[in-house]
Amino acid sequence: MRHDPVSVLGLGAMGRPMARNLARAGFPVTVWNRTPGRDGEVRAAGGTAAATPAEAALPVVITVLPDLPDVEAVLDREDGLLAGWRENDVERPLLVVMGTHSPEGVRQLGARLHGLGVRLVDAPVSGGDVGAEAGTLSIMVGGHAEDVLRLKPYFDVLGTTVRHLGPLGAGQLAKACNQIVVATVLTGISEALALAVAEGLDPEALLDVLGGGLAGSTALEVKRDKWLRHDFTPGGRARHQLKDLGFATGAGRAAGVPLPVTAAVEQVYTAMCALGLGDDDHSGVYQVYEALTRGSRPTTRR
């Protein structure tokens, strides 16, 4: 089966396995990353590395970048996507932003690119680096139906749950809702774990009983070993979680919907970043509770 070529810009914890999975599935994949040396895994799977975004300006381009200023930078730089599309006479290219961004910011970018003949779809993902590796991401899509249909073969490789939720920005709004739940669950488990440890309970036993009951969740299952090993090597970084919570609270204000729980969790992640832990995994929010209760002694249980 013939597959249309695609480029992936951004080879971080999410973008690298996503690009690799597309290459393994038979897509001609071109990749670019700001930091050189991260493309080996994709090239080994059959992908091609570009030296500049302009060289990666194919009819379909996926960005997996931290924020919209990063996307705008690869569009507008002298050797960026816009220059590459012009030079290669690519008509109506399709840009797919799969990072997590502001819903309103995405809509504004879409309006700007529409005037330049570029189609935009937002398709943020959930599932973390584990889901990206396994190709089991949940993909939340916003954009025109014909553009989304064109992207289905790529999405089917990257995820197992793909939903077109509405016009441009709808995917980002859904991701903001997702991040409310993820951050709240991670903070709640961390808070419960801090209490249990302070009172002398075995943390592994506690996570066992939480996981076996109504408190069980994919977040607990995926992050369990990070808590037990106190190894917060990042999958999803805390500073990115904080950014996403800001999008959620901003959307809540715009819609007139109070988000008191989200606001409280946002403050806990603000504290985590203020402690210099912003590049740790977002499950490392547990360390905020350790800092707050430092010096406490476990109680012997009888």
d(CA 232, CA 211): 20
Structure tokens at 28: 């001609």
Annotation marks residue 175 as catalytic: yes
Question: Rounded to an integer, what distance in angstroms lies between the CA atom of residue 170 and that of residue 32?
Answer: 27
Q: Which residues pair with 30 in a beta bridge?
A: 7, 48
Residue 271 CB contacts under 8 Å (≥ 6 apart), including other chains: 288
Residue 246 three-state SS: helix
Q: Which residue type sits at 51?
A: A
d(CA 158, CA 190): 30
Q: Which is the catalytic residue, given 152, 175, 226, 243?
A: 175
Cβ distance 118 to 84 under 8 Å? no
Question: Annotated catalytic sites, by residue?
Answer: 175
